[in-house]
Structure 1
Amino acid sequence: MIRPSLILLFGVTVVVLGACAPQSPLLGNPQAPYPPPTKPQVGDILHLRTGHFVSAGEMASAATDSRIIYVAETHDNPASHRVQLDLLKALAQRYPGRTAVAMEMFTPAQQDTLDAWVANALDEKNFLKLWYSSWKMDFAYYRDILNYCREAGIPIIGINAEKSMVQAVGRKDFAALTAEEQARLPTTLDPGDPYHQALTAAIFGGHMQGKPLDGFQRVQTLWDETMAGNIVRFLTSPQGDDIHLLVLAGGNHVRYGFGIPRRVFKQLPLSYTLIGNEELEVSEAKKKEAYMDVKLPNFPMPAYDYLVFTRYEELEKKDDVKLGIMLAEKEGKVIASGILPNGAAALAGVQTGDVLRRLDGEELTESFDLIYALKQKKIGEKGQLTVERGGETLLLDLTYTATPPLEEMHHKP
């Protein structure tokens, strides 16, 4: 009789001996070999291999024994990011001065800006220009993590692939890339992992109809191999020597271990822990908005070492100030290309074609300057907008408001 471990690990042995001895049916569920004693609740943490519930402190104590902790995230769930922050704090407290964070949200080309942020040599406004050029999620989801890195002096490492490479690989097979593009590929490239292929095919089937599967799978491979290669490059560099690394990436890059973690281990066999979260409570609106119709294959391994059960949360709602202006940029000028009726700008006398020069004394040279300045304002506050019109400079008094309701926008004042 062949032991189940041999069946899973030594396929050749099974083929040779299969004719001599019948295979036993699989015992239990390999993804959760020991069912938990009670139904998980929000706030519970389950060690999947043993079916044992642990506390946050117990998870952190065990996980920080590893050289690398991979924490999968739900990008738009604040609860997921609190798990990441708590683990980062535990790692930094255990290894002061020997901790770093690797983030999917950034690329190596942005490393100088990341270093400037950590060194407190860059303000939030200019950091946000980098953020929104590479990641579309609201900065508020990540603000606490990034601010903690800044306060504690913890290096942030950009590990993702450059957009130009993602676009090229999405269009062309690896062999069809130009010589320059091939030179920028990861040094290791394994597109044939059967589990990885099955996962990406399932995700593709859930939300990528009408696009070629092979291009999608190539991009997923590029992302995971690039991030793995950049993690290895950092940990084998003088800066990464003896560093304990927290890796923050989306669930599909971490879940089951065959995305980034296995690719790192093949190049640099260091101890690691996988941590993920599962939302037990999700509003119907969020299910319709964010959930994909994906049925994952039954993989023969647990998804994570530890699974944290959370609820799907929303960012704290904040009524943003809006001027009611459509913007255009030309030669370093921010121009009002359209005005919404009954908005703050219309009520202040702003006209189409006005050049917006300053808001409350802050110079406006690009649309982001105005957008960021308005983020700092509160509804009901007073302000002043300096505009140029027909060669004249005008100072217009504002009352900051939210965007007026649609029916008011079409109502003549």
Structure 2
Amino acid sequence: MRKQRLTLLLLLFLMTACSSHTPLGNPEAPYPPQRKPEIGDILHLPTGVYVDQQALYDNAERVQVVYVGETHDNPASHRLQLDILRHMAKTNPGKVSLGMEMFTPEQQPILDRWSAGELEEKEFLKQVKWFKNWRMNFALYRDLLTFCKEEGIPVLALNANKKLQHKVGRVPFEELSEDEKALLPEMDMNDPYQRAMAEAVFSDHNMGQNMLDGFVRVQTLWDETMAQNVAAYLRSVDKDHQIVVVAGGNHVRFGYGIPRRVFRRVPASYLLVGSHELRVAEGKEAVTMNVVSPDYPMPPYHFITYTEYELLENEGVKMGILLGDDKDGLLIEGVVPDSVAEKSGIKKDDVFIKMDDIDLEEPFDLIYELNRMKVGDKIEITLKRGEETLTLPVEFTEAKPEHSSMEMKHGKK
């Protein structure tokens, strides 16, 4: 009996001792690289070995799903996505698809027409309501989506219904209607790593518990919906088909977002690829967040590329106007002081009719054209002012920060 008690005490001691051990090394980078990374480097995080692009491509060839986490407004992220997709399309022609966080299943028929070459860019963006639904400058995604159109690569809409997203952000799941509950994917709300990420993001904001809970619900809805749609694709194709999934870094990094939830449904092989900005371009500092990431017990990616947080080469131009609707054109509801619009003589309550020879029937028509222009370009705006029709020359100068956001009924432009 005494021997049994001593054995039990020894086991308890060993268990307690083991539970108090700190990790041997850094779980997020178990093998520290031999030198500091530089812009352009690619690091295999599990081994701490720097590799070239071809090694990354070779690994991508061997899996069914390649997740590429992005910084939405960093052009370097999108070049990485295109490089990987282009290589996979070359080595596995006709058997690669692109899954995108930026679209929802309601838009799938439009995406199918785009990949089939049936839509020009302006009509495509108009139909998917790009500037309303995603709002990032399309120039960031143009090369990626144009490549899909040119090569006939299917583009898959992955994200959740917008109305459901907004509702889930406001109310707990149990308060949804039966019809709304029927739209939910299988949900796992108990992932501790996702919760820790949400709390870290919210630590940089002065928001309450209800807002945090709503954010966690929406984040989980996004991840589970995207995982469900990726899994449905995998079930519908042969195992030699591949999908490149592009989504924000927090949906991919550490694997707990989309990847783990896909694997729960379909245990397919996958690769996590991401990037880390070593340098922030002048002018980007204001958009970075002061977030201290939790410590996680695993590497964030299999491969990480080191980049600069770049400026978009051409971000379009701004006029400094507040747009509304009018049956005969675009109503100017406000003009920003000292803006291009004010300097050009544009006034509140003017109604835009044309930009050069382009009819302006809805805000999209103007927004699309301005996003394609650059500083120094000149146009003519035809407008109505009361009973008078005027044509005013407009020259675009460097936009000031206060002119650069799109927040209005249709946005400040």
Counterpart of 1:365, as a letter, is E
Counterpart of 1:236, as a letter, is R
Residues 252 and 208 of structure 1: CA distance in aligned 2, closer, same or farther (over 3 Å): farther
User: Is the 8 Å Cα contact of residues 106 and 159 (structure 1) preserved in structure 2?
Assistant: yes
Residues 180 and 52 of structure 1: CA distance in aligned 2, closer, same or farther (over 3 Å): same
Q: Deviations over 1:59-94 (max 9, x none)?
A: 111122110000111111111111111111111111
User: Is the 8 Å Cα contact of residues 207 and 293 (structure 1) preserved in structure 2?
Assistant: no
Give the TM-score normalised by the residue count of structure 1: 0.84
Matched, 1:108 2:105: yes
2:201 match: 203
Gaps of 5+ in 1: 1-15, 407-413
- Equivalent residue in structure 2 for 1:98, among 95, 99, 116: 95
Residues 46 and 396 of structure 1: CA distance in aligned 2, closer, same or farther (over 3 Å): same
Residues 201 and 113 of structure 1: CA distance in aligned 2, closer, same or farther (over 3 Å): same
Identify which range, 368-377 or 27-36, moves more after superposition.
368-377
Q: CA RMSD in A?
A: 2.9
1:227 match: 226
Q: Deviations over 1:356-382 (max 9, x none)?
A: 322322221112212333445566666
* Residue 286 of structure 1: how far off its partner (Å): 3.0
2:6 match: none
Counterpart of 2:252, as a letter, is V
Counterpart of 2:201, as a letter, is I
* Residue 209 of structure 1: how far off its partner (Å): 2.5
Q: Distance in 2 between matches of 1:310 and 1:351?
A: 43
Q: Deviations over 1:300-343 (max 9, x none)?
A: 11111011111111111567263x65432123532344567887
Q: Distance in 1 between matches of 2:200 and 2:339?
A: 46
Matched, 1:328 2:324: yes
1:301 match: 298
Counterpart of 2:112, as a letter, is D
Q: Deviations over 1:71-122 (max 9, x none)?
A: 1111111111111111111111111111111111111111112122222222
Residues 286 and 242 of structure 1: CA distance in aligned 2, closer, same or farther (over 3 Å): same
Residues 18 and 306 of structure 1: CA distance in aligned 2, closer, same or farther (over 3 Å): farther
User: Is the 8 Å Cα contact of residues 252 and 258 (structure 2) preserved in structure 1?
Assistant: yes
Q: Deviations over 1:286-306 (max 9, x none)?
A: 34x222222222211111101
User: Is the 8 Å Cα contact of residues 378 and 400 (structure 1) preserved in structure 2?
Assistant: no
SS at match of 1:102: strand
2:141 match: 142
Residues 18 and 153 of structure 1: CA distance in aligned 2, closer, same or farther (over 3 Å): farther
Counterpart of 1:396, as a letter, is T
Q: Distance in 1 between matches of 2:337 and 2:202?
A: 43
The aligned length equals 386
Matched, 1:364 2:331: no
Counterpart of 1:146, as a letter, is L
1:9 match: none
Q: Distance in 2 between matches of 1:65 and 1:309?
A: 23
Counterpart of 2:69, as a letter, is A
Q: Distance in 2 between matches of 1:55 and 1:367?
A: 45
Q: Distance in 2 between matches of 1:250 and 1:383?
A: 36
User: Is the 8 Å Cα contact of residues 380 and 399 (structure 1) preserved in structure 2?
Assistant: no
SS at match of 1:157: strand
Counterpart of 1:108, as a letter, is P
Gaps of 5+ in 2: 1-9, 402-413
Q: Distance in 2 between matches of 1:235 and 1:55?
A: 29
